[in-house]
């Protein structure tokens, strides 16, 4: 198999985007507009005054969608989060206006209302704006709040999905989130209580025929494990923690609801960290795509 270096990959991506943009450039020429193409040579085919709410994926630049990469090359301004990977940001052409609005637990962050106001202001200046969010913008990404701010100001918007952390983590650990022998259902759960009465129905979540994925739950791991056990899951029910999924610094812990809090205390993981609960986690031990399986064990 040919292995492509990151430099060659970027060259290939630039050529691919140029081919992708050719029909748009032809249409622009027919309508009297001008267009460029490729990375570093923005075509400016985005509609001025439009905000594109774009998913940056899990951080690995090679998991970014072609549409997201194209929009980054065309934007007048990019408003981005803390969890957007450096290699993804490197695709933004020099001269494009950048605005960092990242949030981190325990640190000062830009209020959500201010982010919405900034998007509106940039669009009202006639700029095409990419609002770049880690993962998928529609999964615990406060997409609804930003859409509301844009709708109130009558600013047009477009949503571009990205690979969410749950998909990236399950792929990186070589397991399916839904396997016929293990999971009839899949639930994404936020561990952040954003509304009154937002406490999950733990008994309803404590099922053996589904996979649970908790976002933003590292600080509440002990509570999650205890509540699921109280709800009816056994002490030895499998649980997986994944930090920096799909990135070189990826780290993971596999355990049970009973022992995972102690495992995490002994081997702390950085936040944000995804929590996967369900019998599919057991497949980490046998999957040929899992770095934790015996298939990939290195000889002594």
What is the rounded distance in angstroms from the CA atom of residue 147 to the CA atom of residue 156? 9
Q: Which residue, among 67, 245, 243, 57, has the nearest Cα to 133 in the 3D structure?
A: 57
Cα maximum dimension of the chain: 67
Contact 269, 243 (CB under 8 A): yes
Q: Which positions are catalytic?
A: 81, 103
User: In this structure, which long-range contacts are made by residues 223-228, counting pairs with CB atoms below 8 Å and at least 24 apart in sequence?
Assistant: 224/191, 224/275, 224/277, 225/257, 225/258, 225/260, 225/261, 227/200, 227/202, 228/202, 228/257, 228/277
């Amino acid at each position: 198999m040919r292995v492509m270096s990151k430099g060659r990959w970027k060259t290939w991506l630039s050529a691919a985007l140029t081919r992708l943009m050719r029909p748009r450039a032809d249409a622009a020429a027919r309508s009297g507009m001008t267009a460029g193409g490729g990375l570093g040579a923005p075509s400016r085919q985005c509609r001025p005054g439009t905000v594109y709410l774009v998913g940056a994926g899990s951080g690995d630049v090679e998991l970014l969608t072609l549409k997201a990469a194209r929009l980054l090359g065309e934007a007048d301004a990019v408003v981005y989060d803390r969890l957007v990977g450096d290699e993804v940001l490197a695709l933004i052409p020099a001269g494009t206006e950048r605005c960092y609005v990242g949030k981190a637990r325990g640190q000062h962050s830009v209020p959500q209302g201010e982010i919405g106001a900034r998007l509106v202001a940039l669009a009202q200046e006639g700029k095409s704006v990419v609002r770049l969010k880690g993962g998928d913008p529609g999964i615990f990404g406060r997409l609804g709040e930003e859409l509301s701010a844009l709708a109130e100001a009558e600013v047009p918007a477009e949503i571009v999905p990205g690979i969410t952390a749950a998909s990236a983590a399950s792929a990186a650990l070589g397991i399916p989130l839904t396997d016929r022998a293990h999971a009839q259902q899949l639930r994404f759960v936020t561990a952040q209580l954003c509304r009154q009465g937002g406490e999950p129905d733990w008994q309803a979540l404590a099922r053996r025929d589904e996979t649970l994925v908790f976002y933003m739950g590292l600080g509440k791991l002990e509570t999650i494990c205890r509540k699921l056990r109280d709800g009816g899951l056994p002490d030895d029910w499998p649980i997986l923690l994944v930090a920096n999924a799909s990135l070189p610094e990826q780290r993971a812990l596999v355990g049970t609801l009973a022992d995972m809090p102690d495992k995490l205390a002994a081997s702390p993981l950085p936040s944000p960290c995804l929590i996967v609960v369900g019998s599919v986690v057991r497949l980490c031990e046998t999957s040929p795509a899992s770095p934790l399986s015996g298939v990939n064990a290195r000889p002594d």
